[in-house]
Amino acid sequence: MEFAAILLVALMVYAAVATVVAVVRDGRGHTPLERSTRPWTAGSLPSEPYASLRSLR
């Protein structure tokens, strides 16, 4: 019985260490690179939704 308890505790410690190592290695995750191109613009789209323009008429 004691052997099973020691084995269970060792497995829990191993799982905790493996989780910490995986999180540290991953860092912030998969973040996209910052591009140095012009930012996206809406072009000729209205700055307000059509529904709010309809309510003013």
pLDDT per residue as tens digits for the range 22-48: 888 877 666 777 777 776 777 777 666
pLDDT reported for residue 36? 73
CA distances in angstroms from 30 to 18, 25, 27, 39, 40, listed in the order given: 20, 12, 9, 21, 22
Under the banding of pLDDT at 50, 70 and 90, the label for residue 14 is very high
Measured distance CA(2)–CA(9) in Å, rounded: 11
